[in-house]
Amino acid sequence: MKKVLLLSVVLLGSGLAVFAGGQNEPMDEDVYPAGTMSFMGYGNPQVHKVHADDFLNRNRDVAPTVDFEILHVESESAARQHVIMSVTAGAWDDLPTAMRTEEVSLQVMADHGILVDLTDFALEHKDDYIDGVWDAGFYDGRYYGIPTQFKPQLLFYNATLFEKYNIDPERMDTIEGWIDVGRDLKRKSEGKVRLSYIDPGHFTWRYYGRRGLMPQAEANIWDDDGNVVIDTDPGSLLAFNTLDTLKSEDLLLTASMFQPQLYDATRDGRIATFYIGAFWDQFLRQNLPDMEGDWRMMPAPMFENIGLRGAPVAAIDVILNPPGGAPYKDLYLEMMLDFQFNNEARIDWTEKMIGQNQTVSAPIVKKTLEDPYWSQPTHYYGGQSLLGMETKGLVNFAPNLRVTNVDAEADSIISAELEKYVAGDQSMDQAVANMGRILRQRIRKAPAAR
C-alpha cells in the first residue's frame, strides 16, 4: 500500500475518510513518480500555485520529486478549445493534469470522454460540503468536476455616497428598491452619480444576464424539452425588462469592465454600487486601495415577488484522462481536500493572499467554516467581515441557469443582440425577439432536461 498523505491523518481524526484507490496509483508502493503536476487556469491561477507548492512541500514523503506548474490561458473558452484541439491531434502531452472550467465546457469535454469520472469520490465527500456546491460538476448522472470555490453574489456600495445623500442602504434589499435608490442618487447628485455601470461588450450578458438577473428571475433560455423560450418565458422577460429600466433611465454608466475608465469613475464617486460578479472584492481592493473604509457589503438584492438572492459562482476543476490513465489523479484530489479540510493550511494561504491583495474566498466545507477566523473583520470594509458576508450571501440563493452543451453557441448569439441594445442600435424588445428567432434558426433545440 502506498503511504497515506498527511491530510489523511487530519481527515480521519475528524471522522472523514480520504479517497484512496482507482487505477492511477503511484508507480511504486511508496511514492508518486517524478514529474510535473500541471494546472490550466484563467483569470489569476497563480493563487492556486501558492497552495499547491505548500501542499507538496508538506508531503514530500509521497511526492518527493513532483513539481507544480501553472498553464495560463486567456479565458474559460480558450482552455476548452486548447484541450479539444490537443486531443483531436493526439497531443496528450500538451494537456495539464487538471484545469479550471465551467459547466458548458465540462459537458462538452465529458461528451468527448476526456475527463476522469469523479462520481465515487464525490459521493464519499459531498455531504461534508455546503449544499449545492457539487451541482456544477454533475452531468448526465455522473460527477466530473470538483468544486474549489462557491462565491455568492454580493452588493458592494460606497457608504460615503449613501451618507452624503442621506439614503438608507437597507432599501436595496430588493432589486426594485435598488433601482429606486439609483433614481434618488441620480436626482440628489444632479446627475453625477449612477447606480452602477454597464459594459458595452460581452460582459453584459455574462453578468447582468446569465449570472445575474436571469437566475434571480427564475428565467429560462430553454424549456425542459429543449425548446427556445428566451423570448416568451416570464422570468426571462422580467430580467431583460429590468435591465432595460436601468439603462433607459440612465442609471448605469457605460464603461468597459477592468479598464481604467471604470476605476476612475468609481474613485470620482460616479458609481455607487457593484453587483453581479463574484470578483468585486478583488476589483475594489486591488484597483482602489485609496478607498479603504468607504465601501460596505450586503447580500444580493432579490425580486420582491420571487425572493431569491444572487446565484453563486462555482469554480470547478476537472482532471484530464489521457490514454493509460492520469498518474497524478489521486494526488490532485488529495490536494483539493487539503484546501478545504486543512483549516490551518487554508488560513495560512488566505493570509498570504490578503497580503498580496489577491482574491480570497471562504472554505466550502461545513466543519472548516465553524472556525471564528472565517468571520473576522475586514478593514477595507470598515470592519465588516468579507468572508462572513460571503457565508451570509449563500442563504436563499437562486439556482443557476440550466446549462446545456449548446449554451456556448447560444451565449454568443444572445450577447451579440444585447451588445446592439447597449450600443443603441435596437430596442430591448427587438433584441429579445432577435435572440429567440436566431436561436431557433441556428440551434433549433437544446438537449432536454435530465
Tell me whether domains 35-150+314-375 and 153-311+403-443 share a fold.
Answer: yes
Residue 429, C-beta contacts closer than 8 angstroms, at least 6 positions apart: none
Rounded to whole angstroms, how far apart are CA atoms 382 and 294? 7
How far is the C-alpha of 389 from the C-alpha of 145, rounded, in Å?
26
| Structure confidence by residue, pLDDT tens digits, 383-433 | 999 989 998 999 999 999 998 989 989 999 999 999 999 999 999 999 999
CA atoms within 13 Å, Cβ hemisphere of 133: 28
What's the CA gap between 448 and 450, in Å, rounded?
Answer: 6
Residue 312: pLDDT band (50, 70, 90) is very high
The fold adopted by the segment(s) 153-311+403-443 is D-Maltodextrin-Binding Protein; domain 2 (3.40.190)
Higher confidence at residue 14 or residue 213?
213
What is the CATH architecture of 35-150+314-375?
Answer: 3-Layer(aba) Sandwich (3.40)
Q: Which residue in the block uniquely carries the three cell numbers 470578483? A: 279
Q: What is the mean pLDDT of residues 328-347?
A: 97
Q: How far is CA 407 from CA 8, 21, 23, in A?
A: 39, 35, 33
pLDDT at position 6 is 45
Instruction: Read off the pLDDT of each residue in 187-199 and give the average, rounded to a whole number.
Output: 97
DSSP letter, residue 301:
P
Q: CA 270, CA 203: separation in Å to the nearest integer?
A: 20
| Domain range summary for the chain, segments of one domain joined by + | 35-150+314-375, 153-311+403-443
